Structure 1
Amino acid sequence: MSRVLGVLGGMGPAATLDFLGKLQALTPVERDEDHIRVIVDINPQVPDRNDPFARPGPVLAEMAGGLQGAGAQVLAIACDTAHVHADLISRASGLPLVDMIETASRAARDTGARRAGVLGARDAVRLYHEYIAAQGMGLVTLPRDDQARFMDLVGRIKTGDVGAAVREGMRQLAEVLVREGAEAVIAGCAEVSRVLDPVDLRAPLIDAGAELARRCVSVCLGLEPLPQGR
């Protein structure tokens, strides 16, 4: 019997559905019953993770507690930036959390990269800096103006704009990281992988959502131990 996975989602909804699709695709099955049971809270009303005056932490903690009460045994957060509140979420639920930031950073290390670039919101990039350093790598970030352009593109993706202009804009920003010395690029925002493909880059592209899904499958099927605290 596999462990039940609880997913904090809705940030945004399309990105959560994308994560769930990857989770399903990465689960080895021969019949429906082989899939992992997943309990998902898709809550688009979580306060803005990028607003310094918003308070998403208590809402995320309440969601986590609700998932635990519904039967979840392991948690995942389908949003990089929401991991700023990971400690609060874990304490509120009492459940182990499969950390997306840690998982994607390990995947970048496994490419052999010495420096990794991150396409993510400001607070998510700060978290990645900590975890990438723990893997013995340097961090490459976007210049200020390009970071502002990145956030504009993310906003457009959230409205459903995944057209050619947005795709090209995201590819250009990834190339900025490569030119600055990144030997691997982490899609550190759930929206990025919706418009950026590995074939678009001259360096390995790490899809944080896909890496999280892969590790959730492994943990829930008992192929690796439950994660410990941060």
Structure 2
Amino acid sequence: MAERVIGVLGGMGPEATLAFFSWILKLTPAARDQDHLRVVIDSNPKIPDRTAALLHGGPSPVPALRQGIAGLRRAGADFVVIPCVSAHAFLEELREGAALPILSLFDVTAEAVRARHPAVRRVGLLATTGTIRVGRFQERLAREGLETLTPAGEDQELVMRTIYGVKAAAGEADRRPLRENARGVAGRLVAAGAEAVIAGCTEIPLVLKPEDLPVPLFDTLRLLAEAAVATAGRTPRAGVP
């Protein structure tokens, strides 16, 4: 099969897009530059806030997302990935008349949990309040027989402060309290019965690592990168830490 060009609609946020591209590089078998996949990236942090649109009637991100998809097509992309979980609340709308196929981060994550840990029945989800209230991620997980536990009350507020703190953090010192926040909330989900935790916002894997938890952590950035490499026609490298 001929290799396909990956189109990345990013900038939501910019550091998550950088981490996503890094995963694509690490997961692509390559011994030289020419062995890597062609990737077209539109990092557009000007796209309206997805949570504000979902919860507070803010400007819809859909027009800007559609414009980005069309631009990726003109630049040569064969399909699109969006390394932003909250943007997937608009996926059905985006797919209507889309210029290119769009991979679903919800599908990729749900299928990975079921395939890699078939005994898991309850998962904890760390995500934006918009993603949780819309409920599409939980619906997709339920189709794999998975019950979703989400933070309640103050813990969900702490998740949101952590997510926006990652976007604003200038250095490693700024990240330390954010790491503690993420570990604390995830740990309480595990104590409540979660047998795995999903980093359901692409900022979360920047401060929460597998070694922080006694149960499997599913990094949505990495899972989407694996799916992108496979869809582009390559077999993702196994055993990449």
**Residue equivalent to 2:147:** 138
Report deviation, 1:182: 0.8
The residue type equivalent to 1:8 in the other structure is: L
**Residue equivalent to 1:120:** 127
Residue 88 (str. 1) matches residue 75 (str. 2) = no
| 3-state SS of paired residue (1:95) | coil
Contact 1:118 1:128 (8 Å CA) reproduced:
no
**Residue equivalent to 2:239:** none
Contact 2:28 2:234 (8 Å CA) reproduced:
no
**Residue equivalent to 1:227:** none
**Residue equivalent to 2:213:** 201
Question: Aligned pairs, how many?
Answer: 224
Contact 2:129 2:160 (8 Å CA) reproduced:
no
Deviations along 1:173-222, one digit per CA (max 9) or x if unpaired, are 10111111111100011110001110100110000010000111011016
Deviations along 1:64-84, one digit per CA (max 9) or x if unpaired, are 111112111011001000011
Contact 1:80 1:188 (8 Å CA) reproduced:
yes
User: 1-side partners of 2:235 and 2:4: how far apart?
Assistant: 11
| Superposition pairs of residues 151-230 of structure 1, within 5 angstroms | 151-160=160-169, 162-221=174-233
Which runs of no fewer than 5 residues in structure 1 stay unpaired? 225-230
**Residue equivalent to 1:13:** 14
| Superposition pairs of residues 90-109 of structure 1, within 5 angstroms | 90-109=95-114
Which runs of no fewer than 5 residues in structure 2 stay unpaired? 237-241
**Residue equivalent to 1:2:** 3
CA-atom RMSD in angstroms: 1.6
The residue type equivalent to 2:25 in the other structure is: Q
User: 2-side partners of 1:130 and 1:207: how far apart?
Assistant: 19
Contact 2:20 2:83 (8 Å CA) reproduced:
yes
User: 1-side partners of 2:232 and 2:50: how far apart?
Assistant: 28
Q: Label 1:13 to 1:209 Cα distance change in 2 as closer, same or farther (>3 A).
A: same
